[in-house]
Structure 1
Amino acid sequence: MIVLYVLILLALFYGVLMGIYWYGWNHLKEYDPDLQHVHEDVYVSVIIPARNEAEHIQSCLHAICRQHYPPDKMEILVMDDDSTDDTAQRVQEIKDPRIRILHVNDYISHESRQRAPKKKAIELGVAHARGELIITTDADCVAEPDWIKTIVSFYRQYHAVCMAGPVIYANEKSFFDIFQSLDFMTMQGITAATDHLRIGTMCNGANLAYSRKAFNEVDGFTGIDGLASGDDMLLMYKLYCAYPDRVFYVKSRKAIVKTSPVKGLKAFWHQRVRWASKAGKFDDKRLTWVLAGVYCWNLTFCLLFFAGFFHTRWWLWALGLLVYKTVVELCFLIPVAAFFQKKHLLWYFFPGQFLHIPYIVSTGLWSLWSQYQWKDRKLK
């Protein structure tokens, strides 16, 4: 009987949580400014940390160079983090005076950046930036043409100090790609709802903007540089603590940044372990408790599956709860998918549950004590 009560409580918790996210997403108005009348007087520094990104860096840079923003009001800083491929050469092939490449190992010793190389690269970029507004993205991302203009418009209109922008996967070619896209899109919806309702701080470093002045006022990554990941969410929380009413999510199609799903299970595993490794490091314990509850909810399905070998009724419970989980998640995800124009992928949502639950449980557990691999480095 106690087990049944626990199952019901977890189901209620999850249903209420998804209801809160649904409300947050739908209550957040889409930002669609008249870009013809945007004051283009803000100098913007786009910082791109890059390690072994020869395959993607030119597509990323071409998209930024084609931005509908005055060339004399922006610069692009590529932070080459000790790449062992042709990343630097590919950058130098693009003859654009706005692009500067900084080799991180020319400024920071290997020992100093060993624990948090990406944070050190971004920190170096901010130190050399001339812009009032810093925008970070990843080297494997492609931005919409009005990306910078939209963020600048939002920055001016709301006097923001930190803005999370939408990121989405594109070029899905297989079921595994679609699974990743759906999972990532769900996280984007949760990010927007969480930031809007101010029940936590979430973002993705592939599309993050902040005031250079505010970054320096909170001492950048000082105090959060003991963890390799977290250059986005841990920083956002520092800025939120200093400016609680000036941290936002920019819900605008014009501000979308696109990237591709990772290739292969191994790369996916290491990526998600890297993301999960931040969970216990949040100073914002609201997120920690929510993540713990969601983890217990997913763990329940694994326990019910194994319990079913001893009594088949637990398999019926697992199936019933799985249908319930799918329904409440779809209620939230349908409007999110409509915004990102990916409703056609929802047909794959239920089959994806059989991958989603095991990966949540396994990566969450693995991240507690094990290393992961990122850009040919072993980190923790």
Structure 2
Amino acid sequence: MIIFAIIVLKTYLLTILKLCSGIYYDKKKELKTYNPFVSVIIAARNEELSLPKLLKALTSQNYRIDNYEIIVVNDRSTDKTAEVVNDFKKDFNNIKLINIDSTPIGWSNKKWALNQAINKSKSDILLQTDADCIPGKDWIKSMADYFEDTKVGLVCGPTPLVHKDLFLSSLFEMESLIQESVNAGAIKNKLYLSCTGRNLAFTKNVFKKVNGYIGNEHIKSGDDDLLLQKIATKTDSKIEYVLCPESIVVSEAPSNFHNFLKQRLRYASKGLYYFQSSTTFELKFFLILLFLTNMIFIISTFSLLANFKLIPLYLILIKAFADFLISSIFLGKLKKNWSLLAYTILTILHPYYVLLIGLTGPFLKINWKK
């Protein structure tokens, strides 16, 4: 058992070192004069409070206002979401509103909403974000530049979570960016692990080529990572991850632990799909490696507390060092502060959360929004 644990942790360390190299040696892409027409798509349900901040950020981009459109899909909202969008439309004629009254049987609400935006979009280049997000002024530019290479089919970007409470904000931001660091390193090494629809871009051509969301349209989440898997396995399109501060899209963290847990359970609800679909052997191996590493970390922690021995401490330190390395390199690329306190807390708690979410998420039904 001890030998097995050591092999798993050393394999994890070597894998993370490989992912680190992809991030560390990535060269910053200078913003070019390439300014294609793009469509920004947003699915919104009862977002009257969040939408003004997002639309203000999107209409203030360092990008020609006549070179992009903003499509907001009002997904059965019962608040003033539509009114907010219509108020902005009075001043910006590049904003479009699509109202949805119902979702067809067999479709998840969010995927149906996004699908309507994609069908109505004018551009082949689609930028996707969520209604509770705030992109920086160069977001559109930083994402659109990658599509100058016509072989690029999908582009991912970082989305740190923030909270109005300063301490919680540091925890949420660090937690989200640690996960993003693994996604980024994996993509840089052509291991297409995951991405988030809060900061995503893809071409309509590639979307149609993989038949869009068809095949997983019924799954509550997965408008982002499952689309990534389809594009990675069914096309030869390039997939990129943008590693620069300009590409950051900030997202509001859940207001409390219950909502956070519900959000992450929804993310994990399609976990089994990774093993049932045509995902690569390397990806499946990596997911199992992550699970085993966290399980061994927890067992080692209890073993260390029960009877201090060097081997459990050794195993704990291997994982802690690997996570420190990849997160610090990633945050450095984004010019984000690395918090020792937040990292220490997350190092202790995160493995429990990963196992809890990973084991229960696929078997629970979690809605996007009621």
TM surpasses 0.5 = yes
Q: Residues 308, 198 of structure 1: CA spacing in aligned structure 2 closer, same or farther, 3 A cutoff?
A: closer
Find 2:265's aligned residue among 252, 273, 278.
273
Give unmatched runs, 5+ long, in structure 1.
Answer: none
CA deviations over 1:136-187 (Å, ceiling 9, x no partner) = 1101111111211222222114642211122223456344332221121112
Q: CA deviation at 1:319?
A: 4.1
Q: Give, in whole Å, the separation in 1 of the partners of 2:80 and 2:313.
A: 50
Give the structure 1 partner of residue 225 of structure 2. Answer: 233
Residue 93 of structure 1 aligns to which amino acid in structure 2? D
- SS at 1:137's partner residue? strand
Is residue 204 of structure 2 the alignment partner of residue 212 of structure 1? yes
Give the structure 1 partner of residue 37 of structure 2. Answer: 43
Note if contact 1:201-1:240 (Cα within 8 Å) is conserved in structure 2. no
Q: Give, in whole Å, the separation in 1 of the partners of 2:55 and 2:338.
A: 30
Give the structure 2 partner of residue 64 of structure 1. Answer: 58
Q: Give, in whole Å, the separation in 2 of the partners of 1:317 and 1:126.
A: 53
Q: Give, in whole Å, the separation in 2 of the partners of 1:69 and 1:346.
A: 37
Give the structure 1 partner of residue 133 of structure 2. Answer: 141
Q: Normalising by the residue count of structure 1, what TM-score does the alignment of the two structures yield?
A: 0.88
Residue 258 of structure 1 aligns to which amino acid in structure 2? V
Q: CA deviation at 1:240?
A: 2.3
Give the structure 2 partner of residue 302 of structure 1. Answer: 298
Is residue 112 of structure 2 the alignment partner of residue 120 of structure 1? yes
- SS at 1:374's partner residue? coil
Q: CA deviation at 1:279?
A: 2.4
Q: Which moved more, 1:44-53 or 1:77-86?
A: 77-86
Q: Give, in whole Å, the separation in 2 of the partners of 1:307 and 1:325.
A: 16
4+ aligned runs moved over 6 Å, structure 1: none
Find 2:240's aligned residue among 234, 240, 248.
248
Q: Give, in whole Å, the separation in 1 of the partners of 2:302 and 2:24.
A: 38
Q: Give, in whole Å, the separation in 2 of the partners of 1:50 and 1:182.
A: 26
- SS at 1:111's partner residue? coil
Q: Give, in whole Å, the separation in 1 of the partners of 2:200 and 2:336.
A: 22
Is residue 360 of structure 2 the alignment partner of residue 362 of structure 1? no
Q: CA deviation at 1:317?
A: 4.6
Q: Give, in whole Å, the separation in 1 of the partners of 2:312 and 2:256.
A: 29
How many aligned positions are there? 364
Give the structure 2 partner of residue 55 of structure 1. Answer: 49
RMSD: 2.2
Q: CA deviation at 1:241?
A: 2.9
Q: Residues 373, 304 of structure 1: CA spacing in aligned structure 2 closer, same or farther, 3 A cutoff?
A: farther
Q: Give, in whole Å, the separation in 2 of the partners of 1:55 and 1:259.
A: 14
Note if contact 2:192-2:232 (Cα within 8 Å) is conserved in structure 1. no
Give the structure 2 partner of residue 80 of structure 1. Answer: 74
Is residue 5 of structure 2 the alignment partner of residue 7 of structure 1? yes
Residue 95 of structure 2 aligns to which amino acid in structure 1? I
Q: Which moved more, 1:325-334 or 1:137-146?
A: 325-334
Give the structure 1 partner of residue 15 of structure 2. Answer: 17
CA deviations over 1:289-337 (Å, ceiling 9, x no partner) = 212221121122333455678x5247x6544432332222112211212
Q: Normalising by the residue count of structure 2, what TM-score does the alignment of the two structures yield?
A: 0.91
Q: Give, in whole Å, the separation in 1 of the partners of 2:193 and 2:324.
A: 23
Find 1:291's aligned residue among 279, 287, 291.
287
Note if contact 1:52-1:86 (Cα within 8 Å) is conserved in structure 2. yes
Residue 135 of structure 2 aligns to which amino acid in structure 1? A
Give unmatched runs, 5+ long, in structure 2.
Answer: none
Q: Which moved more, 1:263-272 or 1:164-173?
A: 164-173
Give the structure 1 partner of residue 86 of structure 2. Answer: 92
Q: Residues 173, 321 of structure 1: CA spacing in aligned structure 2 closer, same or farther, 3 A cutoff?
A: farther
Residue 97 of structure 1 aligns to which amino acid in structure 2? N
Find 1:30's aligned residue among 17, 28, 31.
28
- SS at 2:202's partner residue? strand
Q: Give, in whole Å, the separation in 2 of the partners of 1:353 and 1:333.
A: 12
Q: Give, in whole Å, the separation in 1 of the partners of 2:193 and 2:314.
A: 33
Residue 362 of structure 1 aligns to which amino acid in structure 2? L
CA deviations over 1:228-275 (Å, ceiling 9, x no partner) = 111011112222234334221122222221112222110110111122
Q: CA deviation at 1:57?
A: 0.7
CA deviations over 1:320-378 (Å, ceiling 9, x no partner) = 43233222211221121212232342342112222212111111111131223532x3x
Is residue 335 of structure 2 the alignment partner of residue 337 of structure 1? no
